[in-house]
Amino acid sequence: MQIKDLAINEGKIVTLQGWVSNKREGKGIAFVILRDGSGFCQCIVAAENIGEENFEQVKKLGLESAISVTGKVVRDEKQIGGYEIHVSELFVYQSVSDYPIQKKEHGVEFLMDHRHLWLRSQRQWAIMKIRNTIIFAIHNFFQKEGFVQADAPLFTANACEGTTNLFETDFYGQPAYLSQSGQLYGEAMAMALGKIYTFGPTFRAEKSKTRRHLSEFWMIEPEMAFYDLFQNMDLIEQFLQYVVKEVIDKSSEELSILGRDVEVLKKSSSPFVRLTYTEAVDIIQAKKAVNGRTTIETLEQDLNNAETQLRRVMEEIIDRENKVATPGMKKGEVNFNLAKIAQLKNEAKDLEEELRNIPNWLNSAKNFQYGSDFGGSDETVLTRLFDVPVMVYDWPHEVKAFYLKRNPEDERFARGVDVLAPEGYGEIVGGGERETDEQKLRSKIIEHELPMHEFEWYLDLRRFGSVPHSGFGLGLERLVAWVCKLNHVRETIPFPRMYGRIAP
C-alpha cells in the first residue's frame, strides 16, 4: 500500500511503510508526517489507541526514523494529499534521533554535502517526480511521432569542437574524450532510421560556476532526415508544448509543492515567438519595440520596481526588528518574526543583486555589437519582453557551429536556431538545419582548424545520399529548472556534477 493510493481506500484500514518526515506532538497525541516515496501523509497517533508503551517509542522518534503504521484512512481537506491516517498500530524499524537536515533553512554547501539525504525532502521529491514526468513525456512524444531512440557513444576520439572543454580519459592507451554532444552520430543514425532521438548524459569540462551549468547533464538530441529549419522549429514548438502540458496535467501536486505559478507556465501553449537574429538584435538594441515597449524602457521599469520593492522589504525588516525588541513579547511571536526577518533579508539580497545586474544588462543591450553571439544578459533582456519561449534563427555563420547550413538566400547567415525559455531561463534548446554539401563542410572544418581525418566518416554522410536534415539538442536540466522555476540546475538532477563538486 502506497500513500498515493489513499484516495481509493477512504474509510478502510491500511498499512503504510515509510519514514518520519516531520513530527509534532502534544500530551498523549502525536502528528507524524509519513513519507513513503509516493507521497506524504499525516498520521494521527494517540496514546489511547496504540498503548502507553508504544506511544513512548513514538515520542522518541526523530526525523527519518523508519516505521510502519496501520490505521483508518480519513478525509481531511487541510492535508497535502487530502487524507490522514488514524493509527491503531505502529511498528518501528529504526528510531533515529540525529538526522542532519533540520526543519529550517540550510545553506547551499551544507545541503549539497548531504545531497544523498536532501533528496528525501519534500521539495526535492517534487522536483524528481517532475523530472520523471518530463523524461516520460519526452519519450512519449517522440515515440508517437515515429522517432526511434538511438544512442550515440559516450567515448569519442575526435574533439569535435575543440578540446578545451572536454574531459580526457584513457581508452586502452589512446586519449579519448567524454562526449559533449551526440549530434554528429545522430545525423548518421537519422540517415539510417529516418527520425531518431538520443537521450543520454553529456559532458562539458567548462569551469563555469553559474546557475545554468553542470559538468554532466542529460541531453535529448533528435535528428530528422528531410526536415528543413522551419519544420525543425515547428517540431520544437510542438514538442515543448506537449512536455509542458504533460507536466501541468500529471504533476500538478508537485508543482504546487514548489509554489510554481501554473498560469505562467500555461502561456507557453500559445505560439512561440520566432525572430531572425537581425530582428532580435534590433529588439535588444531597443531600435524596435515589442507591444509598445523597448528593452530599455522595460529594464528601466524593472529597475524602478526592484527599487521600490527593496525599500518595502527593508522597511518591513526594520518594522519587525522593532517588534522583536518590544519588551514582553511572547517567545513564539519573537521566533516567528526572526524567521520572517531572515527570509526578508534573503529577499533583499536577491533584489540587491538584481539592482546591480539591471544596469549591466542595460549597458550591454545598448552596446550590443551586431554579429556577435548573445550573452546571458542579452538572452535575459530579450526574453523579458515575452511570456512564451523565443526562437531566434538565422545566425551570423561565424558565431555558430561548422555543420550548420547557410541560408541559401543570404550566405551571411547559418540556419541555426536557439530557443530561449521565458522567465530568464535562457537557452534550453540549440539546433538547426545541417549543411548537406561536402565541399562547404570541408572548408568549414578547415576554417575551424579541426582535424579533417577525424571527420571523414561524417563526410561520408554527404557523399552517399545527402539530404536536407535538421535536429536540435535539449538540455534536460535546464528544461526542468524552467518548468519548476528553480534558481539553479543543481536541484534538477539527483547527484549534480559541477565545477568543484564530485561528491556525494
Partner RNA sequence: UCCUCAGUAGCUCAGCUGGUUAGAGCACUUGACUGUUAAUCAGGGGGUCACUGGUUCGAGCCCAGUCUGGGGAGCCA
Site for RNA in 407-436 (CB under 7 A): 426-430
Among 182, 222, 471, 473, binds RNA (CB under 7 A): 473
Among 5, 7, 13, 24, binds RNA (CB under 7 A): 24
Note whether 471 binds RNA by CB under 7 A: no
Using the contact rule CB under 7 A, the part of the chain among 13-21, 293-301, 314-322, 376-384 near RNA is: 376-384
Note whether 213 binds RNA by CB under 7 A: yes
Note whether 293 binds RNA by CB under 7 A: no
Note whether 100 binds RNA by CB under 7 A: yes
Note whether 373 binds RNA by CB under 7 A: yes
Note whether 161 binds RNA by CB under 7 A: yes
Note whether 377 binds RNA by CB under 7 A: yes
Q: b/e per residue, 103-115, with b = 16+ CB within 10 A? A: eeeeeeeebbbbb
Spatial distance between the Cα atoms of 441 and 459, rounded to a whole number of angstroms: 8
Note whether 104 binds RNA by CB under 7 A: yes
Note whether 391 binds RNA by CB under 7 A: no
Burial class (CB in 10 A: 0-12, 13-18, 19+), 177: buried
Spatial distance between the Cα atoms of 492 and 254, rounded to a whole number of angstroms: 13
Cβ neighbours, 10 Å, residue 451:
11
- Residue closer to RNA (CB basis): 423 or 438: 423
Among 68, 165, 231, 276, binds RNA (CB under 7 A): 165
- Residue closer to RNA (CB basis): 212 or 250: 212
Residue spans of alpha helices (H) in 79-182: 108-113, 115-118, 122-144
Among 9, 15, 94, 97, binds RNA (CB under 7 A): 97
Residue spans of alpha helices (H) in 417-473: 438-447, 456-463
Note whether 491 binds RNA by CB under 7 A: no
Looking at the DSSP assignment, which residues form a beta bridge with residue 45? 30
Using the contact rule CB under 7 A, the part of the chain among 100-108, 145-153, 402-410, 448-456 near RNA is: 100-108
Coil, helix or strand for 326? coil
Q: How far is the CB of 361 from RNA (least distance, A)?
A: 9
- Spell out the long-range contacts of 230-234 with Cβ–Cβ below 8 A and sequence spacing 24 or more: 231/470, 232/417, 232/431, 232/432, 232/433, 232/470, 232/471, 232/472, 233/274, 233/391, 233/393, 233/417
Binding mask 308-337 for RNA (x = CB under 7 A): ----------------------xxx--xx-
Q: How far is the CB of 197 from RNA (least distance, A)?
A: 14
Q: Which 223-252 positions form the footprint of RNA (CB under 7 A)?
A: none
Coil, helix or strand for 34? strand
Among 72, 139, 442, 488, binds RNA (CB under 7 A): 488
Q: What is the largest CA-CA distance in the chain?
A: 86
Among 12, 15, 51, 103, binds RNA (CB under 7 A): 103
Looking at the DSSP assignment, which residues form a beta bridge with residue 469? 225
Note whether 495 binds RNA by CB under 7 A: no
- Report the C-alpha dihedral over residues 339, 344, 346, 350, rounded to 10 degrees: 170
